[in-house]
Amino acid sequence: MAVQTLFNSLPASIPVASLVVLFLAIHYYSWYRYKKVETKRKTPDHLAKSKGDRLGSRHISSKQAGKYQMTMGLRKSTLEDWLYVDDNYTKEHEVKRALMESRRDKIIRCLPGSKGACEETLELVVGFLLSKYPERFNYSTNTIRGGCVRIVDTGETFRLSKDTSSDGFPSLETASRLAMEDFNILTKSSEGQHILQASATCFPVGWSVEERIGWPIQKLHGKVPLWQHKLHHPVEHFLSRIPRAMIMERSTYFVQVTQSHEGIADILCQLQPLEYKAKPTNPEQILIRRERQVFRRLMRSKAVLFTVKTSIEPLTQVSMTELRSFVREAQGWPDDVARYRGRDCWAECVSRYYDTMMANGDEDTISDTTSEE
């Protein structure tokens, strides 16, 4: 329609041949613009981003250098938005299954006394998934085996029986296998500190459940710069006062450098600190790893359930708006924050990629391709 309008507005004296040339030039430019963006944004299958990946995840906001502030960044959420199932479900479900077999002791632990909270968690997960995603999950009853949940996409069936062990191991494992999120249960000690009582964390960043199970919140964040001074008391205060009917969430992100030999399981399950990776030689090795973290109070056990939905996005797929904000934010990190986030490892490569994109005038094309999300 736009091309037809253009032709109708031209003087009648212009030769037909000239009009044909003009039409071909417009057509070629449109094709070139499309191919340029398509080529630049090609992503390996195991890093393909689903349409729902950014839902609830942290967009990198525009911050000026030197203005870094550490805050909890909490916002209210709703029960309807507690968990998400996106296009990467089957792929990540298979990764979780493999990790449960190969790294089980490192990613899932439940301390004695966590059984009730783990069973309650499984009940909530099953009820939520059956209600929100009935096309993906089916429920059936059997007089001998009890209730079962079937994952439609994989055909797997999980029995929903009462946990017979002294802890909540089977219950929390089943919840983790059914959902895309990682699950952490925090209970308050007699000293007033919240303790990691149970965890099924298949996609950690620089830590393992095997090491940190039973740790108080203060120790869990011991290596995070400024956390003890800025957030320790506000976090404990918040966890102690989460209302039963309220869900709160926050988002954060990390920069992750990948190596050619790493598969999707190695990328998602990061047991070693990210800043110890070798320096990247090209921007395709760099991922933006986003976490959507949700907090809610369990009604019966009164424990705090802390879930984490992880999504990964290649740096080359990030919109120019976010890329610019990310570069500015990283420049404003204090030295200790920069060391913790591994800036010395990837900063040169990111800066070089950013300068190249700016020099090529690609801001509009990158922003256009992500605006629909």
Closest CA to 184 of 152, 223, 212, 144: 212
Closest CA to 59 of 256, 288, 284, 275: 288
Is 95:177 a contact under the CB 8 Å cutoff? no
Joined tokens for residue 48: 């393909």
- Higher-confidence position of 317 and 51: 317
- Higher-confidence position of 206 and 68: 206
C-alpha–C-alpha distance, residues 327 and 264, integer Å: 26
Cα distances (Å, whole numbers) of residue 51 to 48, 56, 85, 361: 10, 12, 11, 26
Is the pLDDT at 370 greater than 50? The verdict is: no
Q: H/E element holding 76?
A: strand 75-77
For the chain, the farthest-separated pair of C-alpha atoms sits apart, in whole angstroms, at 90
Joined tokens for residue 178: 């059914």
What percentage of the chain reaches a pLDDT higher than 70? Answer: 74
Residue in the block written with tokens 């090209």:
282
Backbone angles phi, psi at 253, to 5 degrees: -145, 160
**Dihedral of CA 325/331/335/341: which sign?**
positive
Residue 299's pLDDT is 95
Residue in the block written with tokens 């925090």:
186
Residue 227's pLDDT is 81
Model pLDDT for residues 200-235, shown as the tens digit of each residue: 999 999 899 999 999 999 899 888 887 877 888 899
Least reliable range by pLDDT among 30-34, 75-79, 261-265, 304-308:
30-34
- Higher-confidence position of 365 and 258: 258
Residue 167's pLDDT is 59
Residue 73's pLDDT is 86
Model pLDDT for residues 287-304, shown as the tens digit of each residue: 999 999 999 999 999 999
**Dihedral of CA 286/68/293/318: which sign?**
negative
**Cα 68 off chain centre by:** 22
Residue 244's pLDDT is 86
Q: Please name the residues in contact with 369: beta carbons below 8 A apart, sequence gap of 6 or more.
A: 37, 41
Is the pLDDT at 343 greater than 50? The verdict is: yes
Is the pLDDT at 59 greater than 60? The verdict is: no
Residue 34's pLDDT is 38
Is the pLDDT at 141 greater than 70? The verdict is: yes
C-alpha–C-alpha distance, residues 175 and 158, integer Å: 10
Is the pLDDT at 364 greater than 50? The verdict is: no
Residue in the block written with tokens 């040169």:
348
Residue 302's pLDDT is 95
Average pLDDT over residues 320-341: 91
Closest CA to 145 of 125, 160, 126, 163: 160
Residue 39's pLDDT is 38
Cα distances (Å, whole numbers) of residue 94 to 21, 177, 265: 53, 9, 9
Average pLDDT over residues 139-149: 75
Is the pLDDT at 1 greater than 60? The verdict is: no
- Higher-confidence position of 84 and 232: 84
**Cα 39 off chain centre by:** 25
Model pLDDT for residues 234-274, shown as the tens digit of each residue: 999 999 999 888 999 999 999 999 988 889 999 999 888 76
DSSP 123-168: HHHHHHHHHH-TTTEEEEEETTTEEEEEETTT--EEE-PPP-SSSS
pTM, two decimals, is: 0.79
What is the pLDDT of the chain when averaged over all its residues?
81
